[in-house]
Amino acid sequence: MGPLILFGTGRVLYSLIERRDKWFVLLEFVSSAIFLFVGLILLRIHQNAVRSVSIGILFLITGLISRIIIPLHPSEAGGDGVKDSKKIVPIGIIDFVWICVMGATIAIIAFTWGVIPFVDIKQKGMSPEYYKKLFEITVFLLGKTIDSVFLLGGVLAACMSILWSGQIWRESEEKSRKQYVFTTISAIKMVVAYFIVILNALVWIGIPLYQKMNELAEVLK
- Average pLDDT score, the chain: 85
Say how many residues make up the chain. 221
pLDDT at 162: 78
Residue 4, pLDDT above cutoff 90: yes
pTM, full prediction: 0.86
Encode pLDDT of 10-52 as tens digits: 999 999 998 888 999 999 999 999 999 999 999 999 899 999 9
First to last CA, the chain: 35
pLDDT at 206: 93
Q: Percentage helix, strand, coil, to 5, in the chain?
A: 80, 0, 20
pLDDT at 114: 80
Q: Which of 56-65, 86-95, 163-172 has the lowest mean pLDDT?
A: 163-172
Nearest to 92 by CA among 76, 70, 68, 69: 76
pLDDT at 218: 84
Q: Give burial (CB, 10 Å; 0-12/13-18/19+) of 219.
A: middle
Nearest to 52 by CA among 6, 2, 5, 115: 115
Task: Supply the DSSP symbol for 206.
Answer: I
pLDDT at 182: 78
Encode pLDDT of 45-90 as tens digits: 989 999 999 999 999 999 999 988 988 877 766 555 555 555 677 7
Task: Supply the DSSP symbol for 90.
Answer: S
